Amino acid sequence: MVGSGEEIVRMEVSQLLAALEDAFLRIGSENAPLGDKLKYIADEVRRLSPVFAGAVDNFVNRLEQVAAGSLAPRIGEKMPSFLLPDEQGRLVSLDALLRAGPVAIAFIRGHWCPYCRLNAAGLAQIEDAMKPVQLVAISAETRKYTREIKREAKARFPFLSDVDNGYALALNLAIWVPDDMSSLIAAAGWDVPCYQGGSAWILPVPSVFLLDREGVVRFRHVDPDYRRRLEPSALIAAAADMASSSAKCATLSENHGPVGAAQ
Q: In the chain, pLDDT over 90 holds for what percent of residues? A: 86
Does some domain include residue 179? yes
Does some domain include residue 167? yes
Q: Residue 256 contacts by C-beta under 8 Å, 6 or more apart in sequence?
A: 263
> What's the CATH number where 65 sits?
3.40.30.10
Contact 202, 165 (CB under 8 A): yes
The one-character DSSP state at 186 is: H
How many structural domains does the chain have?
1
Does some domain include residue 257? no
pLDDT tens across 95-117, in order? Answer: 999 999 999 999 999 999 999 99
> What is the rounded average pLDDT for all residues in the chain?
92
Contact 91, 85 (CB under 8 A): yes
Does some domain include residue 72? yes
Q: In the chain, pLDDT over 70 holds for what percent of residues? A: 89
The pLDDT value recorded for residue 246 is 73
Cα 107 vs. chain centroid, distance in angstroms? Answer: 3
pLDDT tens across 248-263, in order? Answer: 665 555 665 554 443 3
Average pLDDT for residues 119-125, to the nearest whole number?
A: 98
Does some domain include residue 261? no
Does some domain include residue 212? yes
The enclosing H or E element of 139 equals: strand 134-139
What is the residue range of 68's domain? 5-252
